[in-house]
Structure 1
Amino acid sequence: MPCFHQIGPVMRRHSASELARLLAEHITRLAPELLPHGQKDGVEWRVGSLAGEPGQSLAVRLSGARRGVWADFSSGERGDALDLVAAVLFGGSRKDAMQWSENWLCLSNTGTSAPLQRRPIQEKLNTSQELDKEAQQRRAKARRLWHDTPAGIAGTPVESYLQGRGIDLRALGRAPGALRFAPAVWCQEVRRSLPAMLAAICSPSGKLVAVHRTWLAQSPSGIWCKADLKNPKKVLGGFAGGCIRLWRGASALALGIAPEGDVAIVAEGIETALSCAIACPEYRVLAAVSLSNMAAMKLPDTITEIIVAADNDTGNASARKALDAALSQFAQQGRTVRLAMPEIQGQDWNNVLTEHDGLKGPERS
């Protein structure tokens, strides 16, 4: 391949951040080389997974401010362009990925690198029937995890974690049934089990299809918080079109039998959604899990008004595009759509909750 960056005879080692930036500048060449069975989809390169089989679950941003950023919406793995090299070629080793990247970018003349460790593409993934089987296995694993975990979070680290985020569920009178505490959930990143907050992701029909995991850790002072991981939050199972049903609002009816004229607040994350539930308990509150999934959510026609409680990601073009897609989709469905966004850039509604004594709420602000 051609050299993208020629340098003088004196070679120097480059930092991980430098390499990630340089790789991102050439992501339109890098992504197809790493994942040749993918396809260009707008501003993204789409493929089935880090193993490289055809599909849509993994997306690599090809242009804009977030070029080089990637996410696997099935496994929850994500990162920058250097992380992509590490995950695809070297089993997650950034050290080996850095050496390979310097050679690929012509920043080094060593010509050597560690042995490649590509994830094998199983032959059975060549048929849609077997792809469905893989998805069913992940879904079954998610259901086992959920059903093996006792219901309720009262008195558990989940309750403490949420209180540390300013979310006191006693204000609602009860804890959402969509949340549970599991004392030991396997975390691949550290290769051991950690305590976790689980959240049930249900399909439009109400069937549990995936489980959202937030790994937790206790600080030296005894405070429960998110575990210090690169990816402290991951989803087990596919969840396209589904959501986390956190609060039923004034009707107290399940989403599938929501009354005519029901109003729903839709947020991206769990903590933001719970903050909105405390502020506006009269409204139904749902977490979309990701902005990309928000536009795909399937909601009953009886929900005639949606308030999208968005994070203030001003300056993030890809996030704004995904948000606009969701707003447009809801409007095309004939619903009244309102956008509620904190005034300060970088904030979400949980930030507003924790920084103020009480929260006016996305509707009342």
Structure 2
Amino acid sequence: MPALAGELLPGGRRDGPEWRCGSLAGEKGQSLAVRLHGERAGVWSDFASGERGDALDLVAAVLFGGDVKAAMGWSRRWLGLPEDPRSGPVPATVRRAPAPADDAAAEAEAEGRRRAARGLFGHPDTLHNIAGTPAALYLAGRGIELAELGRVPRALRFHPNVWCQEVGCPLPAMLAAIHGPDGVHVATHRTWLAEIDGAWRKASLAKAKKVLGGFAGGTVRLWRGASGRPLSEARDGETVALAEGIETGLSVALACPELRVLAAVSLGNMGSVQLPPAVRTVILCADNDGDNPAAARGLQRAIDRFAGEARNVRVAFPPDGADDFNDVLTSGDGE
């Protein structure tokens, strides 16, 4: 799988036990992950579009527009197998199982990234209360005045010097903790910031937002709503508003502080989020993605997931002309 992933998705890079890139086009990024070792080797998922499959599906999607039959022929040639499965035995040289040492090393690397994510969030230079920091000023520039919520969400912190690989130096960043279904801190979301024309904004980077650590199924727990309880102690019949991005989620919390608000970080991850049984209603706070078929599939996947769990599912779209609910907030049409 490392060789195949590198050939199909040349712009990606190894990230622990996975190969990461931006999409099926193979450019740099993090949205698409391919498992490289172990029993799940070849399993992949595009968290932006919701597309997923095994190694053969990956070949079909990247090279043949989803044509699995054509992908089978190409794959047999790539592996050095006979064109016709009945024409001879599979050469022993292609029956190699993944080396346990490689799998163990990959798992160790992934655990290292999880520790790094938690360490960054708990670093002595990380400010637990972002009030008055560039992170709070950045959010205020997006129309999000945290003082109106009455408290700063515990999931958000600020660090003045977070290493940015793109520019090769540290930059100020807003941090957000991503917790898995069991409440364990599994990853840290970073939004690099810069002061531009006297205002704090996203840094002018190709990728101003990145996640350190694997976050499939996890969420940024932004707001506890009326109950004030942790997610694991949600009251029976509770409603959760599930947004894609942090800024969108905070905008929803300002407009509807009675709701528990979570951010899934990506549209593709929305359909992987795990919620306790007490949550009976899920409001998917969708973005206006136009005629983007991948986005439509990702949203439908999330709808199907929660409906399949016998939950009430509602989809909230911002009005025409707004990309997301943060646009609604900044335009003054939040009423």
Smaller-chain TM-score bracket? 0.7 to 0.9
Q: Match for 1:347: what amino acid?
A: D
Name the counterpart of 1:89. none
Quick one: distance in 1 between partners of 2:185 and 2:16? 26
Quick one: distance in 1 between partners of 2:23 and 2:17? 14
Name the counterpart of 1:140. 115
- The question of 1:193 aligning with 2:151 is answered no
- 1:39–1:335 Cα change, 3 Å: farther
- The question of 1:153 aligning with 2:130 is answered yes
SS of equivalent residue, structure 2 residue 23: strand
Name the counterpart of 1:320. 296
Quick one: distance in 2 between partners of 1:48 and 1:302? 42
SS of equivalent residue, structure 1 residue 72: coil
**Alignment match of 1:173 (pick from 129, 142, 150):** 150
Q: Deviations over 1:210-229 (max 9, x none)?
A: 10000001123x21110111
- Structure 2 length-normalised TM: 0.74
- Structure 1 length-normalised TM: 0.68
Q: Deviations over 1:292-346 (max 9, x none)?
A: 1111111101110000001000111111111111111011111100000113256
- Asked whether the equivalents of residues 49 and 55 of structure 1 are also in contact (C-alpha less than 8 Å), the reply is no
**Offset, 1:69:** 6.0
**Offset, 1:127:** 3.3
- Asked whether the equivalents of residues 186 and 194 of structure 1 are also in contact (C-alpha less than 8 Å), the reply is yes
Q: Which has the higher contact order (CA 8 A, sep 6+)?
A: 2
Q: Deviations over 1:237-265 (max 9, x none)?
A: 11111100000000000011111011000
**Offset, 1:230:** 0.6
Quick one: distance in 2 between partners of 1:169 and 1:304? 28
Q: Which runs of 5+ in 1 are unaligned?
A: 1-31, 62-66, 79-122, 361-365
Name the counterpart of 1:283. 259
Quick one: distance in 1 between partners of 2:238 and 2:151? 21
1:91-240 mapped onto 2 (5 Å cutoff) = 127-148=102-123, 149-220=126-197, 222-240=198-216
- Asked whether the equivalents of residues 181 and 197 of structure 1 are also in contact (C-alpha less than 8 Å), the reply is yes
Identical aligned residues as a percent: 47
Name the counterpart of 1:259. 235
Q: Match for 2:177: what amino acid?
A: A
Quick one: distance in 2 between partners of 1:52 and 1:200? 19
- Asked whether the equivalents of residues 238 and 279 of structure 2 are also in contact (C-alpha less than 8 Å), the reply is yes
- Asked whether the equivalents of residues 135 and 158 of structure 2 are also in contact (C-alpha less than 8 Å), the reply is yes
- Asked whether the equivalents of residues 239 and 260 of structure 2 are also in contact (C-alpha less than 8 Å), the reply is yes
Quick one: distance in 2 between partners of 1:39 and 1:188? 21
Quick one: distance in 1 between partners of 2:170 and 2:155? 22
**Alignment match of 2:320 (pick from 320, 331, 344):** 344
Quick one: distance in 2 between partners of 1:263 and 1:52? 35
Q: Which runs of 5+ in 2 are unaligned?
A: 34-46, 48-97
Quick one: distance in 2 between partners of 1:330 and 1:236? 27
- Asked whether the equivalents of residues 38 and 48 of structure 1 are also in contact (C-alpha less than 8 Å), the reply is no
**Offset, 1:126:** 6.5
- 1:54–1:140 Cα change, 3 Å: closer
Q: CA RMSD in A?
A: 2.9
Runs of 4+ aligned structure 1 residues displaced above 3 Å come to 45-49, 51-60, 67-71, 123-127
Q: Match for 2:157: what amino acid?
A: R
Quick one: distance in 2 between partners of 1:133 and 1:124? 14
1:47-126 mapped onto 2 (5 Å cutoff) = 49-51=12-14, 55=18, 57-58=20-21, 60-61=23-24, 71-73=29-31
Quick one: distance in 1 between partners of 2:10 and 2:258? 41
Name the counterpart of 2:5. 38
The answer to which of 197-206 and 342-351 deviates more is 342-351
- Asked whether the equivalents of residues 242 and 285 of structure 2 are also in contact (C-alpha less than 8 Å), the reply is yes
**Offset, 1:164:** 0.5
Q: Match for 1:140: what amino acid?
A: R
- Asked whether the equivalents of residues 314 and 346 of structure 1 are also in contact (C-alpha less than 8 Å), the reply is no
